[in-house]
Amino acid sequence: MTVLNKKFPTKHTTAPFSLINVSDFNLAIEAEITRTKEEINLIIENDTIPTFENTVEALEYSGAQLDRITSIFFNLNSAETNETIQKLAQEISPKLTELSNDIILNEALFQRVKAVYETKDSLDLTIEQQTLLDKKFKSFSRNGANLAADKKEILREIDKKLSKLSLTFGENVLAETNKFQLHLTDKKDVAGIPNGALEAAKTIAKSENKEGWIFTLDYPSYIPFMKYAENRALRQQMATAFGSKAFKNDELDNQANVLKIAKLRHQRANLLGYETHAHFVLEERMAEKPEKVISFLNELLEKAKPAAEREFKQLSNFAKELDGIEELQSWDSSYYSEKLKQELFNLDDEKLKPYFKLENITAGAFTVAEKLFDIRFEQVFDIDVYHEDVKTYEVFDSNDNFVAVFYADFHPRKGKRNGAWMTSYKSQQRKDGNVERPHVSIVCNFTKPTESKPSLLTFNEVTTLFHEFGHALHGMLADTTYPSLSGTSVFWDFVELPSQVMENWCYEAEALAIFAKHYETDEVIPMEYIEKIKASATFLEGMATLRQISFGLLDMSWHGTDPTNITDVKAHEQAAFENTRLFPKNPKTAMSTAFSHIFQGGYSSGYYSYKWAEVLDADAFEYFKENDIFSKEIASKFAEHVLSKGGTEHPMTLYKRFRGSEPKPEALLKRAGLLVE
């Protein structure tokens, strides 16, 4: 027995990071797999008539400690990994997949769940209990419980292969990200790059005992380089390195992994009676079927493409007039977009960054949450963390009741994957008369403080922090009975609503006055800057929308059709991008081989959900603006009907209860500047 197999001896039973040896995980997880099997056997061997309590509820609460341990392990594998953890992940994932299949494909267990399901109309169940029963029954029926024995074995093999392939995919992307460095020593090669980014690059070089500057593919290093570096050849070098991750026909190449994952997912869907992987996935989404997703994306494409083409022409002409660029390339996009934005709005990130000190933005997000939802955050130093960068907070309501533990991990490092995400170490639930509160974390990759400056964010990073914080609020304000229906456990195309709606406060003067203060003078961001932020909010929005649509269409091209005959990843990708492509093709780069959202994360057949949720969030924020952006009444309705309810009811039911009607796309088109008056 390890410390992981007992009730954690820590404050709020938080993850005991300092007490864990990495080698503990394998033993601890094996022990919990055995315990979970015993819990399942008790359900099966119960000789009384199957009831909601002795079957469905018992199944819901089984494996609780296993869930906690695996959440710690896989969160570490994303945020603080190393070779040992990665090797363990390759060993542990198949075992977990096998357990999952042992449960889902267990005929006796399915018959008990089915017996309860068939009598559901005569049971006096709450809405949440009805949802749980429906979800449990579908988890069996949709995942092979009705298959013949030989087909169940095929399904097991497919699932084992998929679990290992997605891990390998992610490891390759991380290794490729860590592998590349652009080491520069000539001052003219870094012309145009702001002092803050140069100082960060110098800090990296110093850490490796090198002169000059080192730029990497981590976002805080890569993005400023692409936006400001005057040396076009070096921008091309950086962009090609970024775009060719796991696409070099070497040991880290993901082309074969992409093809295998897509084909195995299709094979799995066919085995279960579905036309494609997307048909399987979307059955449990608001969109319901691939045709609806394609129609949704194409409708947006129709609105966005003319605007995108106008913007691209404007950007191309601007680059030609400014620097004689004959053909605008992808590595020119950020650079000339920033130049054009400065010319049109006299606004650039370097002017704004002094007003966006990380600590102030974090405190500002907390204040916005307090104003809206009557919760407060108190930093504490007696909760275990997995890295010294991680900050911890206790969250309380207005009556001083404990609400949640909140972790914030903001800076890049070698063992941390790129991007930003929210995750959970413990779900909210009610059990045996006790209310267990959640432990929620957000993980980002913002520039670290340097010797002379604190961590200063770009405006885009400010919205990223608010986005992930919105996910965190969804987790922290959960108020359900069952953990599998709690917090962000909702339909995938609904999960982005709380995160995306929070971004809206970043554009409002009343909110910016709270947190946008100069890090040296404490001066509130000038009103002229706020007006420019709002004015520039739709700058090149057509191009940005087209880009998001292209990713959604690429996802559907892999998962919404039969991929059996696809042999060339790049050729397939180019065909998927044909209607959305603005820049010339680059034979050295590919999107799919590093498209972690769909080949490693949970967004397969779901990338469209970002745009889908934008329709919801624009409509929801319009409701706030019709009243007051800090309206307690509207915020209370949002917390009650959306944030607290998790996946206890159909999301459209919850949304209509909050808003009074279904969302209208006009609010999004108006906000994006794509609505033709």
Rg (CA), the chain: 25
Question: How far is the C-alpha of 55 from the C-alpha of 106, rounded, in Å?
Answer: 13
Other CB atoms within 10 Å distance of the CB of residue 217: 21
Question: How far is the C-alpha of 439 from the C-alpha of 407, rounded, in Å?
Answer: 8
The secondary structure of residue 217, as a DSSP letter, is S
Residue 414 three-state SS = coil
Give the burial class of 122: count Cβ atoms within 10 A of its Cβ; 0-12 exposed, 13-18 middle, 19 or more buried.
exposed
Torsion of CA 133, 136, 140, 143, to 10 degrees: 130
> Is the CB of residue 552 less than 8 Å from the CB of residue 248?
no
Beta-strand (E) ranges in 532-667? none
Q: Are strands 391-397 and 402-409 parallel, antiparallel or unpaired?
A: antiparallel
Structure tokens at 143: 């995942």
The secondary structure of residue 456, as a DSSP letter, is B
Structure tokens at 547: 């880009």
Question: How far is the C-alpha of 154 from the C-alpha of 156, rounded, in Å?
Answer: 5
Cα atoms found within 13 Å of the Cα of residue 291, Cβ hemisphere only: 1
Question: How far is the C-alpha of 655 from the C-alpha of 643, rounded, in Å?
Answer: 10
Beta-strand (E) ranges in 353-409? 375-380, 391-397, 402-409
Question: How far is the C-alpha of 428 from the C-alpha of 480, rounded, in Å?
Answer: 7
440 Rama class: left (phi>0) / alpha (psi -120 to 50) / beta:
beta
> Is the CB of residue 486 less than 8 Å from the CB of residue 478?
yes
Residue 50 three-state SS = coil
Catalytic residue among 32, 171, 468, 496: 468
Which amino acid belongs to residue 191? A
Q: How far is CA 551 from CA 246, 257, 297, in A?
A: 18, 19, 10
What lies within 8 Å, CB to CB, of 446 at 6+ separation is 220, 358, 410, 411, 412, 455, 457, 461, 465
> Is the CB of residue 10 less than 8 Å from the CB of residue 439?
no
Torsion of CA 180, 185, 188, 190, to 10 degrees: 40
> Is the CB of residue 155 less than 8 Å from the CB of residue 274?
no
Other CB atoms within 10 Å distance of the CB of residue 565: 8
> Is there a catalytic annotation at residue 350?
no
Residue 12 three-state SS = helix
- Partnered with residue 396 across adjacent β-strands are 376, 402
- Supply the residues annotated as catalytic: 468
